[in-house]
Chain A
Amino acid sequence: MNDAPAPSPEDAILALGQRLEKTTKAPGLHLAGETLTLDRCGGLWIEAHRTLIVSDLHLEKGSAYAARSGQFLPPYDTRETLACLHEAVVRFDPARVVALGDSFHDSRGPERMEPGDRAMVAALQEGRDWVWIAGNHDHAVTEGVGGRYAETLALGGLTLRHEPGVGAAAGEIAGHLHPCGKVAMRGRAVRRRCFVSDGHRLIMPAFGAYTGGLNVRNAAFEPLFPNGFTAHLLGDGRVFAIGRTMLARD
């Protein structure tokens, strides 16, 4: 066909939600004087620092379930997550990659990782500064998986940490909450992972293949965004900026 590919039905709903909200924001976002690119894969690209940030990879979540509760989820979540990360790394060719905490689902995660997946991590790290930020699931456990380890990281005016702090200074980028936004419209509901920002701080979506989400209308987000926020939902074709009034509760 000559025409551009039709957007997915989900994207159509998201676009409708965005239009009704009249939020016409550029795909870029400004935070503490830095320009951020919100990528539809769930990663954050900061061109000025050539840095790619991903949050809550929860690697080895499948095997954690098998070990703990005898639920045998397909053991391919780690390679799937790494494949998505690889795709983003190829696209942006970052000088630095920051994994914003909870990179492994639990502290024994690195031990359970398959050799092939371990090699994949090493290949991704090749020639780059790789920073594992400490999370609550994987505090201080990045032995044997390369890269360096940090509690927090400063990047220009930005502060990168895992858990968002109430009343934190402007420019904080955090993860931890796995935000999801839902748009319900015309008898259909679309629920997607999202970035959340009020122009002062940003919360990243979870990147892992098996990571679920917490609805941004949940009370957990209220103290972090006392003056409201915009959610940037990951559509099939692009990112959709949607204001709070258009977002439904679960």
Chain B
Amino acid sequence: MAQVSSTSNEQSSTAKSITLKISRYNPEHDESSQFMEFNVKYEKWTTVLEAILDVKKHFDHSVAVRYSCRQATCGSCGMIINGKPRLACFTKISELDSDVVTVEPMNNFPVIRDLAVKFEKLFDSHQKIKPYLIRDDTELVSDEKEFLQTPEEVEQYIQFANCIKCGLCNSACPTMATDSSFVGPQALAQAYRYVADSRDKGKDSRLKIIDDSHGIWRCHFAGSCSQVCPKGVDPAMGIQLLRGYMLGFRS
């Protein structure tokens, strides 16, 4: 299934063009995925998401892609772009330095259709690690102040609070490539985010949750998760620091 099309009539004369290869697959009636090719004009600032939307607008509106904010905040448009997991809205075609841009659905996530994948397992794993502050005093008495933190205490976890749950880290992780029970770098980094928060008292219960045969010990510090994170979360660091608690390097 290959289709060569062009959007030349709507672009300015400064635009260059690339071949955009889009993986097409509908689990309801397709045996396997196939690539459709489109010739797309682009400017220096054109993102991969814009190119895909261009294809939807001009050639094939049935291309399935999930997106929302277009500014790397919602975490919806994660996909494999030229072999690596990236956010389509955060990846400029000009930065890819290639005449052919291949887009595929993220690995290690079930495909809904074309480029859209299911996030249920990611959200389940995220929920499993109790992503909220745990305290003994569940209700604040009215005359009490809020929980104050020093800037140093905030620094301990704020980086990990940037996670937008886009799933790129889980897609890049070598363990997730074969282990469907692994809790994954996203959830583990979030476990660290709450454990490192000075207001939280749920360290022991979270460490217990991730201390199983498909928990934190299945991370081998390959660091691929950190390399693809579009928000600078550095899940690999969070996971190792979290493991530091379990090995007695941190208290």
Note whether A and B form a binding pair.
no
A residues neighboring B (CB under 8 Å): none
